[in-house]
Structure 1
Amino acid sequence: MYCAQCGHNNDDSARFCSGCGVSLGTQPMAAGMAAGTGAAVTSVSASLRDAGFWYRLLAFVIDMIILTLITVVVAVPLGFALGASMAASGATGQEINLVAEGMGNLLSLLLGWFYYTVFESSKWQSTPGKRMLGLRVTDMDGNRIGFGRANGRYWSKILSALLLFIGYLMIAFTRRKQGLHDMIASTLVVRQS
């Protein structure tokens, strides 16, 4: 199958062009292309492209704002209830602060895991921040990812961050705009162009 974007000849089973990365499933088949002549295409339908670094960074910022609001709404009432119960049992202020900090960190980690994993494996295929920008998380063939792959992608982000965020910076320099966590989970982040 020839790509309507760049004219590259791909396997008939390919979902994305190996030459330019455009989704082959949304492209019209031109008359010359169907016969295998490789003729240029004059009209290209809306297609998916690999989402670049800046789109993904903006989606991350939006998601962090949303996730922070969710965490505050959940953590503040729990923190007050925990602090009140600990104070009633005779705990010191330092003990209450220590437990509250640990609970806040655990809650943030669990809410972040749940937020990213559930949204990216849902029918949306994206978090609310990604969805606002028209981004979707797919497997290498453009299909929806399952909960297990979304889970692996989320925990792989820790490795991307631990390596001085080089795992994230890779998005700007790799051919398919993949970060280290995308490569580990065999995923792509694509956008409608």
Structure 2
Amino acid sequence: MIHIKSTKYRILDLLLLAMFFLFINILNAQPGLPQREITVVPTQPIDFGTFYVTGAGSIKVDFQGNVSTTGGVISVNSSSVTPAVFEIKLCQGRTVTLNNVYSVYINGSNGGQLELLIGEAKRDGLGDILTNGSSFAVDTNCTFTTILRAGGTLIVPANAVPGVYIGSFPMTFTQQ
């Protein structure tokens, strides 16, 4: 026996089928997952200001921008001294691990070379002092920026060549 549906029932079947597919699309249209990629932007370089050398020593800038010297290094203009600043974006509930080398050499404009020891870092207003291998949780939500400030120490030999010293240091931020 052959059963033929009326046009009325075919339209009803098509309508039900269309609603079924619409329902499936609604189920799949869930909000996106939080940002999983870390974004780090260096916004301020470390600056030791102007100093002169009467003998071997060092000059240190901490994560707050305070300057101190040892030995024959004398700071002349501490107003231009700044720590390095990084802006980190990653969603709340995630952890960032800071990794950096202990020291690098930076080159002077007149041929000299100074050793830069990478110093401690700290998040603005929160958390413990961070060193190589330290981890910290990021702040609030996916649109908030976590500010990290880092200091360092220049080791200055007695025969340091006067000049402008410029360089960089690697710092790796790993998300977990």
The TM-score, its normalising length taken from structure 2, stands at 0.24
Q: Which has the higher contact order (CA 8 A, sep 6+)?
A: 2
The TM-score, its normalising length taken from structure 1, stands at 0.23
More strand by share: 2
